[in-house]
Amino acid sequence: MTTSAPARPIRIAMLGCGVVGTEVARFLLRDAEELGRRVGAPVELVGIAVRRLERTRSLDIPSELFTTDAKALVTRGDLDVVIEVIGGIEPARELILAALESGASVVTANKALLAEDGDTLYEAAVKAERDLYYEAAVAGAIPIVRPLRESLAGDRVERVLGIVNGTTNFILDAMTTTGAGFDDALDEAQRLGFAEADPTADVEGFDAAAKAAILAGLAFHTRVTIADVHREGITEVTAADVASASEIGSVVKLLAICEIDPEGSQVSVRVHPAMIPATHPLASVRGAYNAVFVESEAAGQLMFYGPGAGGAPTASAVLGDVVTVARHRVDGVFGPGETVHAQVEVLDIGRARTRYHVQIDVEDRPGVLAAVAEAFAVHDVSIKTVRQEGRGGDAQLVVVTHEADDAALAATVGQLRDLEMVRGVSSVMRVEGVS
């Protein structure tokens, strides 16, 4: 609240000046006056640490702001806010800790670090009595950290389903729209700049897994690291899978899924491709957009949608946090920290409750349905629907199950593959977003 006259300037330093950092600096310099009014004190960008000065010359940023000595910058002692947009584990962690110890609040977009070792940072922020804000770390410009941490703080979040990686959503959307296979869709995404030359972090689900860990921690007031997250990427998703999804009125999405059981004692946090009904709000999230769908006891179903990456959108999230923590600095206070009092068990994927869609190529002869049904039954997996289509001497069975332990479903699929009458299991995918 800005009741008093503008106080001493809020001094801001930034670590890193890549795609996001350049946009942050540009807005901070251009809008300093307006941001100062919102903060209640002048804001001043006092330094930017980069690895190599040569690359900064082409930027429209005063050269005297740049330094290669990041450690000296964050420990100069008069900073109010340090923005960290280097990414990765080190030196980001060391610098963030040094900044907090030196009395600065920190705004970071570093999902990898938060998902790997958030606890160290959260505890350092508490000890330093400074803010650690990270809206930009999950789903880019979409406000999701603040809604989970504050807006839903009086509610019980039951499930979070997120499309939190734009590259994979672009690829799966292209496969859905054009019928292309994964490789062709990836080529197209790379050509258009939606996938990196080495797409591993995106297509193998590492990026989404980091965000899932952060979301689960926030949603369920507990500690979750990336090591707790079951992760499957989209490289095995075939055009046939996408077509199968379409036949049951669904689309394939890479989902970050965070669920808690009704007793609030066990959570499942996982990233994998899944079929969701075309009528689900997440199904219409196209291209490289992100969205996070939240189900809570009182609020019901909420969705947050927007650009999940990119320089300017991520800068928007960073600067929202900068204004918030700068206001706190002006008032000499700090915001809500992590609440991790609910120490809940993170379930192994085998114990997660899921549904499966299984497409089985079988010989078209008497007894085959009975044999297939038996494979489900012996693993205690209940079948919701089965559809048989004859195809010459062959037939195809499409089975959608009720919810069961993931391990039981996987074992069922394993047994199906071994059945003599089964020629092949052509599509296996989890089904989500069905109530």
Q: Which residues are catalytic?
A: 211
Q: How far is the CB of 433 from a second copy (least distance, A)?
A: 14
> Does 350 belong to an annotated binding site?
no
Binding-site member from 143, 261, 384, 423 for a second copy (CB under 8 A): 143
Other beta carbons less than 10 A from residue 414's beta carbon: 12
Name which of 299 and 421 has its Cβ closer to a second copy: 299
Residue 400 to residue 369: CA distance in whole angstroms: 14
Q: Rg of the chain's alpha carbons, rounded to an integer?
A: 24
Among 98-106, 146-154, 183-191, 356-364, the segment contacting a second copy (CB under 8 A): 146-154
> Does 369 belong to an annotated binding site?
no
Across-strand partners of 362? 395, 422
Q: Is 341 a residue that touches a second copy (CB under 8 A)?
A: yes
Closest listed residue to residue 200, CA positions, set 239, 174, 235, 171: 235
Contacts with a second copy: how many residues (CB under 8 A)? Answer: 62
Binding-site member from 2, 102, 246, 415 for a second copy (CB under 8 A): 2
Closest listed residue to residue 279, CA positions, set 249, 318, 307: 249
Among 8-16, 44-52, 112-120, 309-317, the segment contacting a second copy (CB under 8 A): 309-317
Residue 398 to residue 295: CA distance in whole angstroms: 29
Name which of 2 and 75 has its Cβ closer to a second copy: 2
Q: x/- site string to a second copy, residues 242 to 281, per CB under 8 A?
A: ---------------------------------------x
| Amino acid symbol at 302 | L
Binding-site member from 178, 200, 265, 284 for a second copy (CB under 8 A): 284
Site for a second copy in 21-50 (CB under 8 A): 23, 27, 31, 35, 37-38
Name which of 322 and 360 has its Cβ closer to a second copy: 322
Binding-site member from 173, 202, 228, 321 for a second copy (CB under 8 A): 321
Name which of 83 and 174 has its Cβ closer to a second copy: 83
Residue 410 to residue 415: CA distance in whole angstroms: 9
Closest listed residue to residue 164, CA positions, set 272, 84, 49: 272
Residue 228 to residue 269: CA distance in whole angstroms: 7
DSSP annotation of 153: T
Other beta carbons less than 10 A from residue 329's beta carbon: 26
> Does 258 belong to an annotated binding site?
no
> Does 111 belong to an annotated binding site?
yes
Residue 158 to residue 291: CA distance in whole angstroms: 17
Q: CB of 299 within 8 A of CB of 152? A: yes
Name which of 96 and 323 has its Cβ closer to a second copy: 323
Across-strand partners of 399? 358, 386
Task: Give the angle subtended at the CA of 248 by the CAs of 373 and 257, to the nearest 5°.
Answer: 90
Q: CB of 243 within 8 A of CB of 250? A: no
Among 11-19, 85-93, 150-158, 388-396, the segment contacting a second copy (CB under 8 A): 150-158
Q: Is 56 a residue that touches a second copy (CB under 8 A)?
A: no
Q: x/- site string to a second copy, residues 192 to 221, per CB under 8 A?
A: -----------------------------x
Q: Is 4 a residue that touches a second copy (CB under 8 A)?
A: no
Name which of 276 and 408 has its Cβ closer to a second copy: 276
Other beta carbons less than 10 A from residue 335's beta carbon: 17
Q: How far is the CB of 274 from a second copy (least distance, A)?
A: 20
Residue 57 to residue 53: CA distance in whole angstroms: 7
Residue 148 to residue 367: CA distance in whole angstroms: 51
**Chain contacts with a second copy (rule: CB under 8 A):** 1-3, 23, 27, 31, 35, 37-38, 126, 129, 135, 141-143, 146-147, 150-156, 221, 281, 284, 296-307, 310, 312-313, 315-324, 327, 331, 333-337, 339, 341-342
